[in-house]
Amino acid sequence: MRTLIALLMLLALCLPQSAFPQVQGDIAPPEFRDSFEEARFRALTHELRCVMCQNQSLADSNAEIARDLRNEVLQLLRQGKTDAEIRDFMVARYGEFVLYKPRLETHTALLWFGPLLLVLAGGLAVFLLIRRQSGQSRDIPADEPQEW
């Protein structure tokens, strides 16, 4: 058994480093022309979702695709695109999922108004239940003793 473990360890040492992929963050942070460009870049990368990660913004994600998308956002900024044009470009390319705050459209109306409808339905159900319970307590004759 010891020889098998030693053989496996020796084999692992002989493999090239590319056999063991490692996650790397940004090698060098982007350099900005001015503070206005940096502020726009940071705001956009916090508004856009990483397409590979579950719930991380482009600014927070360490995924390689997020790094590529950050570079693409910076290139679009430097091309003179507005924030709305950059968002539209990303939505056209990756879908509505890329936005943390989806736009109010017919197919996203349930996302916007669904929670409110659930709260209203729950409030109505509680109201009707309380009203029904209070109506049943009035039906008890006064001369009959109540059981506690």
Say yes or no to pLDDT of 127 above 90.
yes
3-state per-residue secondary structure call for the chain: CHHHHHHHHHHHHHCCHHHCCCCCCCCCCCCCCCHHHHHHHHHHHHHEECCCCCCCECCCCCCHHHHHHHHHHHHHHHCCCCHHHHHHHHHHHHCHHHECCCCCCHHHHHHHHHHHHHHHHHHHHHHHHHHHHHHHHHCCCCCCCCCC
pLDDT computed for residue 2 by the predictor: 78
Regarding predicted confidence, which is higher, 109 or 16? 109
Domain spans, the chain = 21-103, 104-134
Structure pTM? Answer: 0.57
pLDDT computed for residue 141 by the predictor: 59
pLDDT computed for residue 126 by the predictor: 94
Cα–Cα nearest to 45, from 33, 30, 34: 30
Q: Which CATH class is domain 21-103?
A: mainly alpha
pLDDT computed for residue 26 by the predictor: 47
For residue range 94-126, what is the model confidence (pLDDT) as tens digits? 888 888 777 777 777 777 788 999 999 999 999
Say what percent of the chain tops pLDDT 70.
77
Q: What are phi and psi of 49, to 5 degrees?
A: -95, 145
Question: Residue 126 has which token pair?
Answer: 């509680």
For residue range 51-87, what is the model confidence (pLDDT) as tens digits? 888 788 888 888 888 899 999 999 999 998 999 999 9
